[in-house]
Amino acid sequence: MIYLHSTLNAYYNVFNKAKKQKSFADHSIYEWSTENIVSPNIDLLNAATPKNLSVLKIELQEKKLIIIDLVTTKEAVVQIVDHRNESGQNTLIGRTPYKNLPRFPDMSNLYNKKNFGLTQKIVRCVGPDRYNQLEENETSAMVSFVSLPAYYVGWKLTAIGWNKDYDPKGLNLQVAINSLI
């Protein structure tokens, strides 16, 4: 399953043949090729909660999640293998413990580090407002907002960073996604 940090419109060139199937758990679900695509219906901080991501996992009967986020890097597409959350926000605060899960989970192995032929990066997740203001390399908009609660409820995560300025039509992003699915 592919998780987009914002509405499908931001990725229209890449997923222009996606068809909306349903909405639930504050997300829209689309069918694209052989994959489901999920994007939030409300702001990401309120959509990407342990509860919502758990419901999506159960409803869609999926275990693996590919997170796609915007990045500022020197490459068109990178594999995010770790992040530093410099956003000042955390989607787990006040939402744990959830069910029988711990209040303070181990987050030391968040991302899949298998080499898929992409440049692997550790990024600074700065949040959407600061991302649009900064021009520093290795910066991510929102990867931590999704990865923390998704990992917390048991998703196996691979994260991709897409630099739209270097790949405006999303051709490199499509190649990267195909190498992952």
Q: What is the pLDDT of residues 44-89, one digit of tens each?
A: 999 999 999 999 999 999 999 999 999 999 999 999 999 999 898 8
Give the Cα separation of 163 and 135 in Å (integer). 12
Is the pLDDT score of 26 beyond 90?
yes
Report the distance separating Cα 166 and Cα 5, nearest Å.
19
pLDDT of 135 higher than 80:
no
Q: What is the pTM of this model?
A: 0.94
Which helix (H) or strand (E) is 32 found in, with range? Answer: strand 27-32
Residue 134, pLDDT above cutoff 80: no
Distance between CA atoms of 27 and 39, rounded to whole angstroms? Answer: 5
* pLDDT band (50, 70, 90) for residue 12: confident
**Structure confidence at residue 181 (pLDDT):** 87
d(CA 80, CA 82): 6
- Residue count of the chain: 181
List the single range of 76-80, 92-96, 142-146 with lowest mean pLDDT: 92-96
At residue 113, the 3 state secondary structure works out as coil
| pLDDT score of 93 | 84
Please report, for the chain, the start and end positions of each structural domain, with discontinuous segments joined by +: 2-180
Degrees, nearest 5: CA angle 158-96-132: 50
Supply the pLDDT for residue 102.
Answer: 86
| Residues forming beta bridges with residue 29, ordered by sequence position | 22, 38
Residues 6+ apart with CB under 8 A from 65: 1, 2, 3, 150, 155, 156, 157, 158
Question: Which range, of 132-136, 153-157, 160-164, averages the lowest pLDDT?
Answer: 132-136
Determine the pLDDT at residue 150.
96
Element holding 10 (H helix, E strand): none
Burial class of 140 by CB neighbour count within 10 A (0 to 12, 13 to 18, 19+): buried
Determine the 3-state secondary structure of 174 from DSSP: helix
Contacts of 32 (CB under 8 A, 6+ apart): 2, 15, 17, 18, 19
pLDDT at 171 (0 to 100): 94
Q: Which CATH number does 2-180 carry?
A: 3.40.50.1580
